[in-house]
A and B are shown apart, each in its own frame.
Chain A
């Protein structure tokens, strides 16, 4: 009954929009409407070819990590057959397993031909030829496969997956190096030559990382690393003193950062790729103002400020006007810091210190200021949203020394991303598709 019901919820809308050429196949749109509490079941059929098993494993793991799809486990030998329609076809068997969609992938000379079957309708709903780059199981190759996962997830659920993303972070609790790791934990890779790195932050196109460097003579200067060329350039406009927590504005042109000399630290803005003027944003009057994060439309900022005597999350217009507390309750002296604005603009994640001194991650709704606590095990810091506005990367001591973990803010399900201790300050990339 429930299975029937779920199957009945699948609606395939075929919209004919007159578009020419190669884009024509994108006019087929599979739209699934489902109870948000019920994840649609997707069965990935066995993939032929020498790399078939790893391709299938990556697709299944990506769907699972996305938390929007229930990966239907099929007997590896019993149900890998291509679906057949009709009175004696095997679609009903797949339906019985809980699959509303089947992914049938076949290697081609340039990549992968993928057909997604609608089990209820007993037919192919959509097909596409994907290009897969690079040598099998290389970093590029895996990213190409993640891109397939993300697009298939969009076909099935309406929301693009986050597999084709990476996380930048700092390895080392002091004199740390900057690393980038795939969203599934593959290929932790050092980037840039600097040590003493803190607060990496992605360019909105995923092409550059901004970060600060604590030198032998103290904190800090700001650098921007071009990931393609490996060249790092110091942002000279910021001047001497403390310069930290750089973030790119959504336009990719402006950089906002913390600068301080002798009267507290404030947020300032300058341009990234051409030397431009420095503009002051916050007026903290001797307090500390740091860790800025932009609203997705670039019109507002959230940041940490100590202007009330202890750190709280503030929000202001992008030019610093109209500052107001986002997290503050009278008499509560515990401290809240490190905001990160969700890409859909609805929530700000931050860390909140508990009476035992540990930090836990919260989200606060910008609509009604309702607060939701996401973690309670160990100390959890440095939240950074995935592009799906649902998953969050953070550092945690829950298994001992600081590691990176991913949590699904809707279900609370979490997984460990890194395996080498002493890791912190993660930043989730934008989608890294070409």
Chain B
């Protein structure tokens, strides 16, 4: 859990930095929590002067808010969903998580994702590959049923070949019966925030 959220926030920082370099040179990169101003060697966008500290501060605050919103949107989009044993039905808990992904995908039409279906270690290794595929397909169908273009969503299965834990207990099995969501293209830039 810890590791997952850390990975997400790292990837958000990376995303933001990437976005700053590629597309929006006029927006200063927003390394909000960093102690020193982030070194920005090749970027042609250092703010010309320091006098208008107020404006810079405002911009920094806006950037921070946006970065936080992007972080939240990314977390929603990449949140793992879980399944019951030998099932590919979307549970109520997963439904809420999938519902939270819909606006992120709707507002960021360049974003592409890959859904990877996994199973627990019980069951047949071979059947579990197929079951993982069915789990990934179930999540994809849920999203496309809500208007997301299916060509933006790739699905794969790992069966029981990539467990997050390996002890033989329901606590571990339930964490392995999952769909993982990964951003494979585009960036999350548009987010629902009050500032815009």
Other-chain contact of A198, B123, B129, B134, B163 (Cβ < 8 Å):
B129
Nearest chain B residue, comparing its CB with the CB of A395? B125
A199: chain B residues within 8 A (beta carbon): 126
Q: What is the predominant secondary structure among interface residues of chain A facing chain B?
A: strand
A241: chain B residues within 8 A (beta carbon): 133
Do B129 and A219 have beta carbons less than 8 Å apart? yes
Q: What is the 8 Å Cβ interface bit string for chain B, positions 106-143, against chain A (1 contact, 0 not)?
A: 00000000101000001111110111111001001100
A214: chain B residues within 8 A (beta carbon): 129, 158-159, 161
* Assembled-state Cα–Cα distance A28/B44 (Å): 94
The answer to whether the Cβ of B162 comes within 8 Å of any Cβ in the partner chain is: yes
Which residues of A342-363 are within 8 A (CB) of B? 351, 353, 357, 359
Do B126 and A262 have beta carbons less than 8 Å apart? no
B98: chain A residues within 8 A (beta carbon): none
**Which interface class (under 10, 10 to 19, 20 to 34, 35 or more) fits A?**
35 or more
Nearest chain B residue, comparing its CB with the CB of A242? B133
A218-B116, A288-B127 are contacts. A174–B134 as well, Cβ < 8 Å? Answer: no
* Assembled-state Cα–Cα distance A329/B155 (Å): 34
A174-B161, A214-B158, A219-B156 are contacts. A265–B134 as well, Cβ < 8 Å? Answer: yes
Shortest C-beta distance, B14 to chain A (Å), equals 20
Do A311 and B124 have beta carbons less than 8 Å apart? yes
* Assembled-state Cα–Cα distance A399/B77 (Å): 43
* Assembled-state Cα–Cα distance A432/B129 (Å): 31
Nearest chain B residue, comparing its CB with the CB of A286? B134
Q: What is the 8 Å Cβ interface bit string for chain A, positions 316-359, against chain B (1 contact, 0 not)?
A: 00000000000000000001011000000000000101000101
B176: chain A residues within 8 A (beta carbon): none
A286: chain B residues within 8 A (beta carbon): 134
Total A-B pairs, Cβ < 8 A: 106
Do B140 and A262 have beta carbons less than 8 Å apart? yes
Among A218, A242, A262, A290, the most chain B Cβ lie within 10 Å of the Cβ of A218
* Assembled-state Cα–Cα distance A290/B162 (Å): 20
The answer to whether the Cβ of A403 comes within 8 Å of any Cβ in the partner chain is: no
Do B137 and A258 have beta carbons less than 8 Å apart? no
**Which interface class (under 10, 10 to 19, 20 to 34, 35 or more) fits B?**
20 to 34
B68: chain A residues within 8 A (beta carbon): none
Shortest C-beta distance, B22 to chain A (Å), equals 24
Other-chain contact of B125, A258, A288, A357, A424 (Cβ < 8 Å):
A424
Which residues of A196-240 are within 8 A (CB) of B? 196, 198-199, 214, 217-220
Among B133, B140, B158, the most chain A Cβ lie within 10 Å of the Cβ of B133
A304-B124, A381-B124 are contacts. A262–B137 as well, Cβ < 8 Å? Answer: yes
Which residues of A261-313 are within 8 A (CB) of B? 261-265, 286, 288-291, 304, 306, 310-311
The answer to whether the Cβ of A104 comes within 8 Å of any Cβ in the partner chain is: no
A217: chain B residues within 8 A (beta carbon): 114, 156
Which A residues are within 8 Å of any B CB, using their own CB? 174-175, 196, 198-199, 214, 217-220, 241-242, 244-245, 258, 260-265, 286, 288-291, 304, 306, 310-311, 335, 337-338, 351, 353, 357, 359, 381-382, 424-425
A-B contact pairs, 11 of them (CB 8 A): A245-B126, A258-B126, A265-B130, A265-B133, A288-B130, A290-B130, A306-B131, A311-B86, A335-B124, A337-B123, A337-B124
Which B residues are within 8 Å of any A CB, using their own CB? 86, 114, 116, 122-127, 129-134, 137, 140-141, 155-159, 161-163
